[in-house]
A = this chain, B = another copy of it.
Amino acid sequence: MPKKKQPETAGPTSYDVASLAGVSQSAVSRAFSKFGSVAPTTRAKIMRAAKQLGYQPNAFARGLITKKSNLIAVIISNLTNLNYPEVLAELTQRLSAEGNRVLLFSLAAESDVDDVLEQVWPYRVDGAIVAARLHDDQIQQFNDRGIPVILYNRVGDVAPSASVCCDSAAGERELVRLLMAGGHRTFGIIAGPEDSYVGEERLEAARRALNQSGIEPFFFRGRFDYASGAEGFHALMDQAGGRLDAVICTNDAMAIGAIDCAKSTYGFRLPDDISIVGFDGVGPATWASYQLTTIRQPVRRMTAAVVAMLLERIANPGMAPEQRLFGGELLLGRSARLG
């Protein structure tokens, strides 16, 4: 296939529109920018010509000179987390409504963050939303470049960064309190992978709440997925010699796996034989087969907050980092006997 030198795909430029409309290129530029001063009649002429040619301003040329890309990097670790699709859909739509576009990065492994950042820089994004583990030096790279970042459901390791989180600790404390009130005394915890921020936070909160009541729970480390929930339930039952009152799972996917295991393998009925609780409030939690008792993250409010905070920080670069913590809503299912 011979390589053409012709500007084959060269779309119409502002000059093309200008000459068709009989004005200068500057006029076209002003007609397409929000605050340009153009006479209404001129603008109309320009718009007509633009439509005729199918002209749309080139975002690259524009970004080059204005130093604004209208791009927001969204970095998410594992999209298969049942909670993220909803988050992502909300984010894209909200950002879109504000005139921003989403540049999506999804990590296969947490360790890929550095590679991803290298991919982010060339696009001069106006801001970033990160739902993946960032080290302080990685956050610092954003700061150095003057790119506002909002962490979603995590906070910086050391230095404070802007973030929006669901209050894991409060949620777990409430669950423990209610389970205790329901008379449970022997507990198991199925935790997420160690490299998950929320996972560890929930684990710590649950464990501490139990310890304060003098309870040392049995423990299993899962992977935040269905299969490891089931594995975990088996493992905890083994550890407890079959005497287990309640299982706290640090997310819903594992809780659902645990419920299925409890029902199908052990023939348990919930909440009579055992109580199982989760965290997140994902769609399947309310399905009739599970009716999970869990803490629902206020996804809509959280995403709205992320977008608002980010745009605010983009507008005012100097702002001090703000951290917003949203309380979760108790979802009363039938998977647990509470007090």
A261–B1 CA distance with the chains assembled, in angstroms: 59
A60 CB contact (under 8 Å) in B69, B74, B89, B102: B69
A24–B289 CA distance with the chains assembled, in angstroms: 68
Given contacts A119-B101, A123-B101, contact A144 B256 (CB under 8 A): no
A145 CB contact (under 8 Å) in B11, B63, B93: B11
- Does A288 lie within 8 Å of B264, measured CB to CB? yes
Which residues on B sit within 8 Å (CB–CB) of A261?
Answer: 288
Q: List A119-161 residues whose CB lies under 8 Å from chain B.
A: 119, 121-124, 141, 144-146
Which residues on B sit within 8 Å (CB–CB) of A283?
Answer: 80, 226
A92–B56 CA distance with the chains assembled, in angstroms: 26
Given contacts A60-B60, A69-B60, A263-B288, contact A119 B145 (CB under 8 A): no
User: Which of A7, A102, A122 has the most C-beta atoms of chain B within 10 angstroms of its own C-beta?
Assistant: A122
Q: List A249-302 residues whose CB lies under 8 Å from chain B.
A: 256-257, 259-261, 263-264, 283-284, 287-290
Contact with B along A80-96 (1 / 0, CB 8 A): 10001110110011001
Contact with B along A55-76 (1 / 0, CB 8 A): 0111111111001010000100
A59 CB contact (under 8 Å) in B1, B101, B124: B124
Query: A106 interface residue, CB < 8 Å from B?
Result: yes
Number of copies: 2
A122 CB contact (under 8 Å) in B59, B93, B105, B144: B59
Query: A182 interface residue, CB < 8 Å from B?
Result: no
CB distance from A280 to the nearest CB of B (A): 14
Which residues on B sit within 8 Å (CB–CB) of A289?
Answer: 259-260, 263-264, 289-290
Query: A41 interface residue, CB < 8 Å from B?
Result: no
CB distance from A123 to the nearest CB of B (A): 5
Which residues on B sit within 8 Å (CB–CB) of A7?
Answer: 67
Nearest B residue to A57, CB-CB: B122
Q: Give residues in A with beta carbon < 8 Å to B.
A: 1, 7-11, 54, 56-64, 67, 69, 74, 78-80, 84-86, 88-89, 92-93, 96, 101-106, 108, 116, 118-119, 121-124, 141, 144-146, 226, 230, 256-257, 259-261, 263-264, 283-284, 287-290, 316-318
